[in-house]
C-alpha cells in the first residue's frame, strides 16, 4: 500500500526539504544521516510504523551516475494500516557511522550486525556490534563491490591435516 501523504508531509515539516519519490506504488524518502534518528522517531511514534521489515545496504562504487558510495535502506511498515515506507540514507567514506535503530525497534539488532559484517557500516549505540555471518577473525567486508568475489585467500588460509597428523 502506498504511503499516506500525511506521513510524507510530517517528514517534510520535521526535516524541511526531504526528497521523496515513488516507484511502482512504493514511497521512498531520502533522509540526511544527521537527522536519521529524528526522522525514525517521528515515523515510529507519531506515524505508527511499528515494524522494521529490513535494514540493508547498497554499494554504489562504479555505479553509473552515483554520487555516493553507500546507500543504507530501511524498510518500514505500519501493521495497523499496511502503510509502507522506504527510508534511504547515503553514506560516504570515511564517515561510515549512523545511529543504531535498536532503541526504537529491537529487531534492528541482527539486521545492523549483518550490514556491519558485510559492508563495514558502524552503528553507533548498537548494544552488540559483532560479525554475525563471517568468522570473528575475518577482516574484510565481503559484500563491498571492491572486494573480489573469490576473496583474498581467506577461504584457504587454514592448516592442512595429513593422514599422519591425526
Choice between 67 and 162, CB closer to other proteins: 162
Q: How far is the CB of 72 from other proteins (least distance, A)?
A: 19
Choice between 90 and 147, CB closer to other proteins: 147
Write out the residues near other proteins by the rule CB under 8 A. 120, 133-135, 137, 139-142, 147-166
Neighbouring CB atoms inside 10 A of 50's CB total 15
- Between the alpha carbon of residue 14 and those of residues 10, 44, 101, 135, the distances in Å are 6, 14, 19, 41
Q: How far is the CB of 89 from other proteins (least distance, A)?
A: 22
Residue closest to 70 by CA, chosen among 113, 118, 27: 118
Peptide bond into 52 cis (omega under 30): no
Choice between 82 and 159, CB closer to other proteins: 159
Q: How far is the CB of 41 from other proteins (least distance, A)?
A: 33
Q: How many residues does the chain have?
A: 166
Amino acid at each position: 500500500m502506498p504511503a499516506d501523504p500525511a506521513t510524507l508531509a510530517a517528514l517534510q515539516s520535521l526535516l524541511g526539504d526531504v526528497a521523496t519519490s515513488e516507484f511502482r506504488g512504493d514511497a521512498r524518502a531520502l533522509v540526511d544521516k544527521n537527522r536519521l534518528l529524528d526522522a525514525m522517531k517521528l515515523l515510529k511514534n507519531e506515524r505508527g510504523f511499528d515494524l522494521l521489515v529490513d535494514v540493508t545496504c547498497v554499494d554504489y562504487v562504479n555505479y553509473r551516475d552515483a554520487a555516493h558510495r553507500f546507500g543504507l535502506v530501511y524498510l518500514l511498515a505500519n501493521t495497523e494500516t499496511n502503510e509502507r515506507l522506504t527510508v534511504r540514507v547515503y553514506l560516504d567514506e570515511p564517515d561510515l557511522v549512523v545511529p543504531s535503530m535498536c532503541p526504537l525497534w529491537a529487531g534492528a539488532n541482527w539486521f545492523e550486525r549483518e550490514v556491519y559484517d558485510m559492508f563495514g557500516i558502524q552503528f553507533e549505540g548498537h548494544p552488540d556490534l559483532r560479525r554475525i555471518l563471517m568468522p570473528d577473525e575475518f577482516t574484510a567486508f565481503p559484500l563491498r563491490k571492491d572486494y573480489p568475489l573469490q576473496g583474498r585467500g581467506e577461504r584457504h588460509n587454514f592448516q592442512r591435516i595429513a593422514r599422519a597428523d591425526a
